[in-house]
Structure 1
Amino acid sequence: MRKTYLLLATFFFASVSAFAQMSKKEMENLKTAQYAGKYSYDNGEGYGEGEVIVYPESDSTILFYIQLQAGEPSYNMGDLCGRVTLTDGKGIFEFKSDYADEGCKWSMNFADNKLVIEIIDEQYECGFGYGVYADGNYNRKSNAIPEYFVDFTDTKQYFKKLKLEK
């Protein structure tokens, strides 16, 4: 009897873990896979740069990691990971941290191998350094589906293992 329970439990957990893992081919077939990859901008002249890494989570959602650096004179930086629901390549990202009075809210628009981020709410507190903003025109540098990103602490963060609130 004990062997039967052990066998059933093993089968159950193997089925659940197989179901939770999506194959690369299945990921490529997601509607949001067309937006996957790496986008970046560089204002030049030392005024700042940014990068957004986009991962298709489902047919309607993406996960992203944004890393930004302001240029002279402060050289502040910021990074953030989040989830956005997309409709026709457009979505709204909202985030409010526990330590900020306000939050941040921006639109994301994917078109023609570009990502345009525009701030929606003037009360912009994303937890970035002073003078660091996400808005801008990001050009696509890669359309490969990323498995991970490397954050500011040089730690590999795998998209499949991220625990983000829905």
Structure 2
Amino acid sequence: MKRLLLIAALFFSLTSHGQTNYTGSYGYSLKPEGTPSKNEKASGPSGSLVLIRLEGNKYRFWLDVDKGWPSYNLGTTDGTITFKNDTASFDNTYEDAKKSCILKFRISKNIVHITSQSASFDCGFGNAVMADGVYTKWKVQPKLNNAWLKDQYFEAPKVLTTANKTILYKDENALYPTTQTFAKGETLLNIAETEKTIYTERFTAAGKFVYGWIKKSAVKMADTE
């Protein structure tokens, strides 16, 4: 299940990297481990990684891992990383973990290597599920848009903008506005929230990925029917 972002871990990142844009979808798909019956449609271990460039060397990422046959146990996480010299790290330690879970990313052209050296439990993944793997950029790229975002945050409630110009802020206290605004009547995802603000992410009509905080006073709960 895709988890909603925790405010404390929302912008965890390390270091910096060159200006190459690595936005895109990466992954791998392997044969089943063991010997499934001939009558069974079995799939093997697989992983999916999506990177979206925020600014400079900082990226949002979404990671989904499937153990494959026979358990099909899953592992999902998402967050923010920043590359330096082709590498980045992310603290994915689960709340009740006995040891830390640090995911290490190393990118080279169209390939991302992920290593963790952590137990699946410490990472909050299903039994025996590991993020480790070689993720290659898909030749056919899926479209990254608001429909895709909705699938990532399928549990996130939706809000409707009520102000004529709803401002997107850089911070949860709504002190530092961005240049991005939303018109009245736009539907946004409530991914995380504080007492007075909501964190949201959205693709603009021009395809730009924007993220930040909006005031609760500028929105209302959207009709879920």
TM-score (norm 1): 0.66
Where is the helix percentage greater, Structure 1 or Structure 2?
1
Which AA in structure 2 matches 1:151?
A: Q
Secondary structure of the residue aligned to 2:129 is coil
Deviation by residue 1:106-163 (Cα, 9 ceiling, x = unmatched)? 21111121111112x4455111101111110111016789445433858787464478
Higher relative contact order (CA 8 A, sep 6+): 1
Decide which of 29, 43, 50 is 2:30's aligned counterpart.
43
How far 1:88 sits from its partner (Å)? 2.6
Contact 1:32 1:56 in 2 (8 A): no
Question: What is the percentage of aligned positions where both structures have the same residue?
Answer: 21
Distance (whole Å) between structure 2 residues aligned to residue 162 and residue 71 of structure 1: 35
Contact 1:33 1:56 in 2 (8 A): no
1:11-90 alignment, distance < 5 Å: 34-45=21-32, 46-90=43-87
Contact 1:37 1:55 in 2 (8 A): yes
How far 1:95 sits from its partner (Å)? 2.1
Secondary structure of the residue aligned to 2:21 is helix
Q: Where in structure 2 are there 5+ consecutive unaligned residues?
A: 1-16, 33-42, 157-188, 192-200, 203-209, 214-225
Moved more, 153-162 or 124-133: 153-162
Number of aligned residues:
133
Decide which of 92, 95, 98 is 1:95's aligned counterpart.
92
Distance (whole Å) between structure 1 residues aligned to residue 143 and residue 106 of structure 2: 18
Match of 2:152 in 1: 151
Distance (whole Å) between structure 1 residues aligned to residue 143 and residue 135 of structure 2: 17
Provide the alpha-carbon RMSD of the alignment. Answer: 3.0
Moved more, 93-102 or 124-133: 93-102
Contact 2:100 2:118 in 1 (8 A): no
Assess, with a 3 A threshold, how the Cα gap between structure 1 residues 54 and 113 changes in structure 2: closer, same or farther. same
Distance (whole Å) between structure 2 residues aligned to residue 100 and residue 110 of structure 1: 27
Moved more, 125-134 or 92-101: 92-101
TM-score (norm 2): 0.50
Runs of 4+ in 1 over 6 A off after TM superposition: 154-157
Contact 1:61 1:86 in 2 (8 A): yes
